[in-house]
Amino acid sequence: MATLFLDRKDLELRIDGATVAIYEPAGRRGTVPLHLLDRVVMQGRVKLDTGVLTKLAELGIATLLLSARHSRRLAIVLGAGHNQAAIRLAQSRRVFDQDWCAGWAARQVGAKLRTQSLLLTEALLARPDARKPLTDALAEIAAIAQQLGSVPAEPTRLLGFEGAAARSYFAGLAALLPPSLGFVGRNRRPPRDPVNACLSLGYTLLHFDAVRACHGAGLDPLLGFYHRPSFGRESLACDLIEPLRARIDLMAWQLFRDRSLRAEHFSNDQGACLLGKAGRGIFFQRYEQQAAPARRALRRQCRILARHFTAEGEPLLGHDDEAL
């Protein structure tokens, strides 16, 4: 199944039988069979009517709408939801189970630290010239991981461990990148350098995949266990992508290492670093090439949670046959 990326001014989408037809001002550009599509990502001015979104949703093709310049998520359009109420009932109860949430959070943070260490270890083989900052970062993350496994999984303490590991990790990552990029650590809203512009876009796409995986499994993406439920945030999707973020970090490093992305692909707008259209085309293509393992991991974890919550939730359902 494929992703259709639309990132050009004045495109128009129409449903044409079993295909989605793409039009430019000069005329019809081409068609994409609907049965091959899994998701659509639109950025900028794309014209379409509600019939197109309805058809996509009806077929389970998720749509992500990004702002024209800053690549911020504006909306996600999904198809019909899962019908198993037991899953969400049990999930909502577990949100209030402090011990369960703490165990889940500790596992997600531990997995994140392991993937960060793996990236830095692989980088050490490719960049022996950066041995000192990389080994320092690895040692610091290892020490934090050891503490994580030896103390009670209390949410505030976990956040502290994760934050400390992130500082060490990004210091190691910065050593792999040219100083001219200005990357000294994670920043966002807005990202202020080319690396952070790529990380923000990559995390946005990964988060979209996580929301879609939750939706497909019947989970409520708003009800997280490490990231607590908060207005307008899909907290469970945030939980799920934590161990996968290093995949985006690795991809961003690779894009700059092989000079697929260069300074001319970026611009500055009142302190915000923006990835231009040509650069986005390169980024979207690379993301799609490397996204399959992360998507499989998200679907697998969502299926495991859904099975667990189904077993927990079914006894809680009332079965009033006469009401039916």
Residues 137 and 31 in one domain: no
pLDDT for residue 7:
85
Q: Is the pLDDT of residue 14 over 60?
A: yes
Average pLDDT over residues 260-275: 90
pLDDT for residue 157:
83
| Residue with token string 């799920």 | 240
Residues 92 and 59 in one domain: no
Half-sphere exposure at residue 102, Cβ-oriented, CA atoms within 13 angstroms: 12
Q: Which is more confidently placed, 179 or 148? A: 179
pLDDT for residue 151:
63
pLDDT for residue 257:
93
The answer to whether the Cα torsion of 49, 54, 59, 62 is positive or negative is positive
Residues 282 and 162 in one domain: yes
Q: How far is CA 140 from CA 73, 153, 166, 311, in A?
A: 34, 19, 10, 40
pLDDT band at 321 (very low <50, low <70, confident <90, very high): very low
What are the tens digits of pLDDT across the range 190-233? Answer: 899 999 999 999 999 999 999 999 999 999 999 999 998 888 89
pLDDT band at 320 (very low <50, low <70, confident <90, very high): low
The whole-angstrom separation of Cα 182 and Cα 175 is: 11
Greatest mean pLDDT range, 24-38, 136-150, 291-305: 291-305
Residue 216 identity (one-letter amino acid): G
The whole-angstrom separation of Cα 40 and Cα 288 is: 12
pLDDT band at 306 (very low <50, low <70, confident <90, very high): very high
Tell me if 322 is assigned to some domain.
no
Q: Is the pLDDT of residue 278 over 50?
A: yes
| Coil/strand/helix, residue 21 | strand
Asked if 45 and 31 count as a contact pair (C-beta separation under 8 A), the reply is no
Last residue of a domain, one of 50, 77, 104: 77
**Domain range for 272:** 85-314
Tell me if 323 is assigned to some domain.
no
What are the tens digits of pLDDT across the range 86-130? Answer: 999 999 999 999 989 989 999 999 999 999 999 999 999 999 999
Last residue of a domain, one of 34, 53, 77: 77
The whole-angstrom separation of Cα 175 and Cα 134 is: 8
Q: Which is more confidently placed, 282 or 188? A: 282
What are the tens digits of pLDDT across the range 228-258? Answer: 888 889 999 999 999 999 999 999 999 999 9
Gyration radius of the chain's alpha carbons:
21
pLDDT for residue 322:
45
Tell me if 96 is assigned to some domain.
yes
pLDDT band at 153 (very low <50, low <70, confident <90, very high): low
Beta-bridged to residue 266, according to DSSP, are: 275
Determine which of 55-69, 145-159, 230-244, 284-298 has the lowest per-residue pLDDT on average: 145-159
Q: Which is more confidently placed, 213 or 323? A: 213
pLDDT for residue 67:
85
DSSP structure class, residue 81: P
Residues 21 and 165 in one domain: no
CATH label of the domain that carries residue 10? 3.100.10.20
Last residue of a domain, one of 39, 61, 77: 77
pLDDT band at 1 (very low <50, low <70, confident <90, very high): low
Residues 105 and 140 in one domain: yes
pLDDT for residue 323:
42
Q: Is the pLDDT of residue 27 over 50?
A: yes
Residues 182 and 310 in one domain: yes
The whole-angstrom separation of Cα 305 and Cα 233 is: 19
pLDDT for residue 324:
36
Share of the chain above pLDDT 90, in %: 61
| Per-chain mean pLDDT for the chain | 90
Residues 291 and 309 in one domain: yes
Half-sphere exposure at residue 261, Cβ-oriented, CA atoms within 13 angstroms: 31
Q: What are phi and psi of 16, to 5 degrees?
A: -130, 90
Half-sphere exposure at residue 138, Cβ-oriented, CA atoms within 13 angstroms: 15
Residues 167 and 228 in one domain: yes
Name the domain count of the chain: 2
